[in-house]
Amino acid sequence: MILTKKNTARLAGLLFLILITTGIFAEFFVRQKIFVTGDIVTTSKNIINNEWLFRLGFVSDLVMSSMFFFYAFLLYLVFKNLYKEISLFMLFCVVISVAMYCQNMLNQFSAFELLHDPNYSNAFRAEQLQGLSTFFLKMHTKGYFVNQIFFGMYLFPLGYMIFKSGVIPKVIGALLMLGCVGDLIDFVVYFMDPGNDSIILQNITIPADIGEISLCLWLLIMGVRDKKLQDQE
């Protein structure tokens, strides 16, 4: 069965909803429960005492990144006849982002391995293992911000295609393009001025968040405007 553009878009919305749900679970119900900022000992104990939760969060993150790839591929199918090069660029940005994200997850799992594998506990003192584990967790956080380059960049071509085509409300496209700028600024500030805690920078990714949640709901409920796609093909 060949999916219509509208149904393809709705399927993309469903995958995006899974992406958001698994990402929220991994961040707010796993990492924020287990990792305690500035407290190496407590974080290490939490990792040791919550093995199943840690593993579930790890798998949830990988499910999220997998959904991100398939979601972007479906959007590519929706827009490729209208904007072949731009939709392909969007897909390439997502492919790179997904690869970087999956690779970066090994940093998080390395922190877990150091504390759970008895081979390491026999070779290092407890405080050394805790320090190494914390190092990998910090590298995971930094890797997340590096990945934000391509995660942010995918928003602009997607937002542009939505804004120009009108198959989805233009305001969502505008929010996504603005979100791209916010994500890239957030990346630069994190590495160039890590102590900056201005209220503007704390909320600079809000346009991206609003745009993506709005896009998810629109795709899931409405799909795309088939007539506009047909008129422009």
Please name the residues in contact with 15: beta carbons below 8 A apart, sequence gap of 6 or more: 67, 70, 71, 74
Residue 231 belongs to some domain of the structure: no
Residue 230 belongs to some domain of the structure: no
- The CA distance from 226 to 233, in Å, is 11
Closest CA to 76 of 143, 152, 11: 11
Closest CA to 57 of 111, 15, 133, 108: 108
Chunked mean pLDDT (size 10), the chain, 233 residues: 83 97 96 92 94 97 97 96 96 98 97 92 90 95 95 97 94 97 94 85 90 96 75 49
What range defines the domain where residue 108 resides?
5-224
Residue 55 belongs to some domain of the structure: yes
- The CA distance from 181 to 109, in Å, is 31
Residue 233 belongs to some domain of the structure: no
Residue 232 belongs to some domain of the structure: no
| Stated pTM of the model | 0.91
Per-residue pLDDT reduced to its tens digit, 21-31: 999 999 999 99
Residue 191 belongs to some domain of the structure: yes
Residue 229 belongs to some domain of the structure: no
Residue whose entry in the numeric block shows the structure tokens 């090069």:
85
The domain tally of the chain equals 1
